[in-house]
Each structure stands twice: as C-alpha cells, then as structure tokens.
Chain A
Amino acid sequence: MPKTLAEKILSRVASRDAKAGDLVIAPVSRVMVHDSVIDAVIAGLRDLGKERVWDTTKVAVFVDHAAPAPTPVVADSHRVLREWVRTQGIATFYDAGEGVCHQIMVEEGYCEPGTVIVGSDSHSNSYGAVGAFGAGMGATDVAVALALGRTWLRVPESIKVTFTGRPRKGVTMKDAIMRVVREIGTDGARYACVEFHGAGSLPQGDRITLAGMTTEMGAKAGIVVATPEAPDWLFPDRSATYAKEVTVDLSTLEPQIAVPPRVDQVVDVSAAVGQPVDVVFLGSCTNGRLVDMRQAAAVLRGRRISPQVRLEVVPSSRRQFEDAMADGTLLALSAAGAVIGSSGCGPCLGRTGGVLAGQEICLSTANRNYRGRMGSPDASIFIGSPYVAAVAALTGVIDDPRPYLEATDDEFDELVARRRSERAGRGAASVRSGDRARELMVSAARVGVAAEIDD
C-alpha cells in the first residue's frame, strides 16, 4: 500500500506495516527535555521506579525556557536539573544561554532523519525540518520514553501542503506558514502529520519555521519532504492518501499578520496597516536565526527605531548569536536601539526578558499570540515576519515592509515620518545612550560584510 512520510517512518521504526489509525509502539532515537518540565519528568521517572534513563547517549537536556533564571524558585529548579544531569551522566546538556532546544537539536545534528524523537516541548515538531518525526509530549510521556526508550503513537493521517513559485522580496517562509495556518486553522491538523512538498531545498532555518509552526494547527508532526539530510528511502509514495491537500503560491503571497488572540486569525498585512505597537520581539525557535536578524538589519541598519518603541532581539542559539555578531548584524540592531538578549526562548512565553504589561501591544516574530502568552493577559500580540517586525520597530505601527525595501533613502525617511506622525501618543520617548564612536562603528558595519549579504 502506498505510504505517506509518517506511515513510512512509523512502519520502519515499529517494524510493521503501519497505516493511518493504527497504534504503534515506537522506539525513539532521542528524547529532548527542557527546564520548564524537568521537575515533573524527574518525579515521573521516580514514580515509575526507574533510577536511570534507558540510554544516556540518547538524551538531550536544555535550560532555555526561563534562562538565565529570573527568580530564586526557577534558579533552584535549574540547580536540581544540573544535579540530575550530572548523576545520570548525560553529556548532551546545554545550559542557560546556549539557545532554544529546537534550534540546537536541528543545527547541531541531534535529529536523525526518518526516526522518532520525543520532546518535552510542543514545538518538537521542528525536527521535521530534517525529516525526523518529532512529537511534543507532556512530562509523564517524556518520563516514560526516558525509562523505556519507546513511546506509543497513533499513526497520523497526513495533510499535504505544497508550495509553488518563489516569494517576492520582503515575503518570507514565515508568511507562507502563516498563510497555511490561516487556511487550516488551529485544529485543522489535529492528530495529523503535515507533509511539506516543494520546501526541501529551502535553507534549514526556513524548514524549521515551517515544521515548528505545524504545532499551531494541532499537528502531531510536521515533516519536510526531500531535504538534503534525508536518506534515500525517506519519501512519500506518489499515490499516498491524504486527508487534505493545500497549495500555496508563494509568488502571489502577501506578508501575513496574525491578529490577537488567535494564531489562525491571519490577515494580509494591508488589513493591519497603521496598527500601533509598543514592543517588538524578534526571536524564538520560529524566527531567531541569523537570516531573520539580517532581514531586520536590512531595514534598521544606520537608523534608529521609534523612540516610543522597545525592540528586543533574542538569537535562537549561540551559533546564531555569534554569526550575527561577527558580520555586524547585532551591532547594527543594537545601534538602532534593540535590546539584545542571551540566546534562549526569551520573552516568547512571558517568563524572562521583557514581559508585557496590560494594554501593551506587541509585534512578535514567534509563534503564539494567546491571551497572557507574553505577560499580562490584557496585552495584545500580533505575529509577523522579521521584516514586518523591523518596520514596526522603526515606525511604531504595523506596515507593509516591501515599500521600505525598495525605497531610496529619501523615500524611506518619508515613509517612516508619515507613519510615525499618524501614530497616536503611546508610551514615552526614550533617549538612546551611546556616543559618536558607536555611530562610526555603525557606518563601518554598514559598508562591511553585512551590507553585502542583506536579505
């Protein structure tokens, strides 16, 4: 019988002919655990009567969700986690500041294509960026996987998403996946695997953006077909059966905005133009990579963000952080007025970094805009691409980034001035610290390496 990618992977790992709807017991190639749930995972293992994990070489542990520790309670939890890692003898341990678990899992090669990986985080779907069946689970499921090296799964039906054409300048794969979420809805892929066609040759980062956000449609997994990492056998059969098929033409795609408090309440940017924002967050496993920071820097380099807006940039891993430092991108963003946070989940989930106050409005490049997600339940979160984020930081309102990318310097300044003048009085204008030497460094960075690799 022809198989989807999910059916192929689960048949292979469970050593049986598995089809959608079957229940399988699947060996896992790795288990990912992070700080947010470690207490419950340790308690689960203890309750199971297991002192040791099944294989210390197949466990990866991260401190990223509230890192560095913002409170004494969290600090204590991190201490317990470190002691557990040491006594278990787990070498694959990334402490605070190394980055978001998903970014490191993919970029450091911990995700073996064609295998099942259980993660303690809902965005573990991200591992589908390199062809792995990554599934997010709760603490007890993770404890069971750590104890047995196996998990139970219902073989999911699959939804086929096909991308055609190439996006225009200023439109990104973030916009593409938000267009898909708009189409499918927050529960349209419930229990299903989203299979991406026409995305295999995209950069790895774009593939993480796609696979990770399948979580926002309720998917069990999201897997990109035909990636460079995939072994020969890892492809869906041509006549496989899909529960649904969606095609997105990238060449006509507009920048997309998710309107609070739903991630599937998505509109073309034209419908959100002029929406004031107070805070802009650039980061997360969805959009915290070098390319995302470069896109923002392409808009902000040599300029200052709106004095009434705070911009927080959190690279998704130390590798991304250092690459962005080395090519001048972070300097350009800092000089523009950004706060640069240490690598990790940052304010995406409202635990560290700049949490939101009531009535505040945020434009975030992350993946969720539920009520209370980034702090106060009375804050509002819009979601968009790094280009949209940069323009929002600059003008204080949501706007279509494309005209800014095409404009001459004079036209650009005019666009910014007009948007700023239209924005109602909110917040207070901050003076930027820093001296003329900094300005000189910015102009140096402007003509340096980073300027040549915009986009």
Chain B
Amino acid sequence: MARAWVFGDDLDTDQIVPGRYAPFMVGQDKFHTYAFCDARPGFAKEVRPGDVLVGGENFGCGSSREYAVAALKKHGIGGIVAKSFARIFFRNCINLGIPVLESVEALAVVHDGDEVTLDLGAGLLRGLAGNARLRPLAPFAQEILAAGGVVAYLREHGDFPPVT
C-alpha cells in the first residue's frame, strides 16, 4: 500500500522544487530534499517509495525544470494522478518513467494521507472510499513508460516508438 499526497489545482513546479534549490544551486545530491519544502513542509522526510501524488487541474505548470520531476523520481514516487497535467511536466514524467494519469474522479475518492493502490493494469486508483478510473495513455507514451523512460527506450530501440 502507498500513501496518497493530495494537492489542488495549478500546482506549479516552483512548489515542487523552488528555483533557488535547483541542482546547480545546491548540488545533484541535495535538491530532492527540498521537494515541496514551501508548499508541504515535511514531505521530503515522510514520503515513501511508491507513494502516489493526486492533484487537480494543470498539475506541474510553470517552468520546464525537469529536476522537479527528477526530485520526485529520486523519492520513488509511484505515479501521479490528476485531473489534467501541464504539457512540459507531462512529457518530463513520461521521459523519466513516472506514470502520469488523468482522472476526473480521483480527488473525490482520495483524501490526503489515505492508503491507495495505483493499479495500472486495471486502469484504476484504488482508495478506501472507492476506485477512480484512469484515462488510458497513448500507446506511444505507454511504450516509453514500459521501457522505464525515453533514454532506456532509445538505447534499446535506437529511435522513437511508431507514431501511427
């Protein structure tokens, strides 16, 4: 079981890792310890591998900083479920191998701190109060995620997945 961390609409990348704690400001080994340091103090200490972030509209808006996603990756985030995602953040998550799934129902059935299970096979986020259906990802994105990210995919196949 994993814990759900619930956020609202328009969670921007400055909330995930503020620019002043960029890897090149504080070092590659430290930046992830500042994850949500302003928005959710204590997150970096309490989060456990496999935990799921749940959000509203436009999750991850703002700067293109991939280190916001890299910080979540370092903490072993199992997936992010939101009503919608900002486009660069969405790409970054696929590229680094974090499942990002749209769901209009998740906020209604999951509360912060709940135990949840992200069931990608069934396309469900299972919570205490019920299940939220997840919108299926495009096959192109699924293939990259299955490989563990775009770098791993390209190393294996030498080119992008087919786009048809």
Contacts and interface: CB of A to CB of B under 8 A. Distances in A.
A141 B92 contact: yes
Contacts of B58: 186-187, 190, 218
B104 to A, nearest CB: 14
Interface in B114-164: 138, 140, 149-151, 154-155, 159-160, 163
A218 B25 CA distance: 26
A373 B57 contact: no
Nearest to B66: A138
Given A23-B140, A190-B87, A191-B87, A138 B65 contact: yes
Nearest to A24: B163
Given A152-B160, A371-B38, A373-B14, A140 B151 contact: yes
A182 interface: no
Interface string A56-73: 000000000010000101
Given A24-B163, A262-B10, A122 B64 contact: yes
A23 B70 CA distance: 25
B25 A71 contact: yes
A37 interface: yes
Nearest to A192: B87
Interface stretch (A43-51, A204-212, A251-259, A391-399): A43-51
Interface string B48-59: 000000000110
B138 A23 contact: yes
Among A22, A36, A262, residue most surrounded by chain B Cβ atoms (within 10 Å): A36
Interface string A104-122: 0000000000000000111
Given A39-B23, A370-B62, A25 B160 contact: yes
A36 B22 contact: yes
A147 to B, nearest CB: 8
A187 B24 CA distance: 29
A144 interface: yes
Given A73-B24, A262-B10, A40 B19 contact: no
B12 interface: yes
Interface in B18-45: 18-20, 22-28, 38-39
B135 to A, nearest CB: 14
Contacts of A47: 151, 155
B88 A138 contact: yes
B103 interface: no
Given A218-B87, A370-B15, 15 more contacts: A39-B23, A40-B67, A44-B151, A47-B155, A48-B155, A120-B64, A140-B66, A150-B160, A152-B140, A187-B58, A218-B58, A350-B20, A368-B62, A371-B14, A372-B20
Interface of B: 10, 12, 14-15, 18-20, 22-28, 38-39, 57-58, 61-67, 69-70, 84, 86-88, 91-92, 95-96, 138, 140, 149-151, 154-155, 159-160, 163
27 contacts: A24-B163, A25-B160, A25-B163, A37-B65, A37-B67, A39-B28, A40-B66, A66-B24, A73-B25, A73-B26, A74-B25, A77-B24, A139-B66, A140-B92, A141-B95, A144-B151, A187-B10, A187-B58, A187-B86, A190-B84, A371-B39, A372-B14, A372-B15, A372-B19, A372-B20, A377-B18, A377-B38
Interface of A: 22-25, 35-40, 44, 47-49, 66, 71, 73-74, 77, 120-122, 124, 136-141, 143-144, 147-148, 150, 152, 186-187, 190-191, 218, 220, 262, 349-351, 355, 368, 370-373, 375, 377
